[in-house]
């Protein structure tokens, strides 16, 4: 309960009005505040991706907001991935990486990492911080990871930026908000389905490998 309350306290700061105020206060710094917000998403999972990317588009405009969000998000993901990849050989990380569920996920990424990172990267909600960590622990090829996250996040950020830049139109015609809500719910459903699919597929490969070894 205490951790849940802490999570809600953090979330309460990342409202649309607070983020718009932050960007207005530091507008003299150009694109840096907008890039920083999406960069921090990789290190503070509770930060709401949809709100941050949407506010960037509303404040900077569709194309500039899209570009700043895209740069910040890819940079944050890549930094997390490289940091985990760098320390993956330390005793503490090695003990954690030997857990059965972690091992299964890492082996799957080693074989199908691009698809996993790309598909989950398209979704605006989901466990992408965990994906970055798993990819780093599995020591996924850096260029393959970078291409997957750049393409996946590019698609996601553009979709959310379009909604944010045209938010007044959505507010003027509230029925359009149903489409936004459907997009969010579909993303949540897709994230869980993809995660389950990858886990099942990895389990199948493990069973097949075990049979072949016998």
> For the ranges 42-46, 122-126, 172-176, which has the lowest average pLDDT?
172-176
Q: Model pTM greater than 0.95?
A: no
Residue keyed to tokens 């045209």: 166
What is the structure's pLDDT at 129? Answer: 79
Are 77 and 153 in contact by the 8 Å Cβ rule? The answer is: yes
Q: What band does 41 get if pLDDT is binned at 50, 70 and 90?
A: confident
Q: What band does 2 get if pLDDT is binned at 50, 70 and 90?
A: very low
pLDDT per position as a tens digit, 51-96: 889 889 888 989 999 999 999 999 999 999 999 888 877 776 777 6
35-54 average pLDDT score:
86
Distance CA 134, CA 85 (A): 9
Give a three-class secondary structure readout of 54-87. Answer: HHHHHHHCHHHHHHHHHHHHHHHHHHHHHHHHHH
Query: Taking Cα atoms as reference points, which of 81, 186, 99, 187 lies closest to residue 139?
Result: 81
Q: Which residue has the higher pLDDT, 115 or 187?
A: 115
In whole angstroms, what separates CA 136 from the centre of its chain?
14
Distance CA 157, CA 135 (A): 21
Give a three-class secondary structure readout of 130-191. Answer: HHHHHHHHCCCCHHHHHHHHHHHHHHHHHHHHHHHHCHHHHHHCHHHHHHHHHHHHHHHHHH
């Amino acid at each position: 309960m205490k951790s849940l309350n802490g999570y809600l306290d953090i979330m309460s700061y990342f409202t649309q009005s607070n983020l718009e105020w932050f960007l207005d206060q530091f507008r003299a710094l150009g694109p840096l505040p907008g890039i920083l917000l999406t960069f921090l998403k990789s290190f503070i999972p509770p930060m709401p991706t949809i709100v941050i990317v949407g506010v960037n588009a509303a404040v900077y405009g569709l194309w500039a907001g899209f570009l700043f969000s895209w740069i910040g998000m890819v940079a944050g993901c890549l930094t997390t991935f490289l940091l985990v990849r760098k320390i993956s050989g330390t005793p503490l990380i090695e003990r954690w990486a030997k857990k059965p569920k972690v091992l299964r996920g890492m082996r799957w990424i080693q074989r199908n990492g691009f698809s996993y990172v790309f598909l989950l990267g398209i979704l605006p909600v989901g466990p992408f911080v965990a994906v970055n960590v798993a990819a780093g622990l599995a020591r996924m090829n850096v260029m393959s990871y970078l291409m997957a996250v750049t393409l996946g996040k590019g698609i996601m950020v553009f979709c959310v930026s379009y909604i944010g830049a045209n938010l007044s139109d959505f507010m003027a015609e509230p029925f359009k908000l149903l489409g936004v809500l459907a997009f969010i719910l579909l993303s949540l459903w897709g994230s869980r389905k993809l995660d389950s699919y990858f886990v099942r597929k990895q389990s199948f490969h493990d069973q097949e490998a075990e049979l072949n070894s016998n």
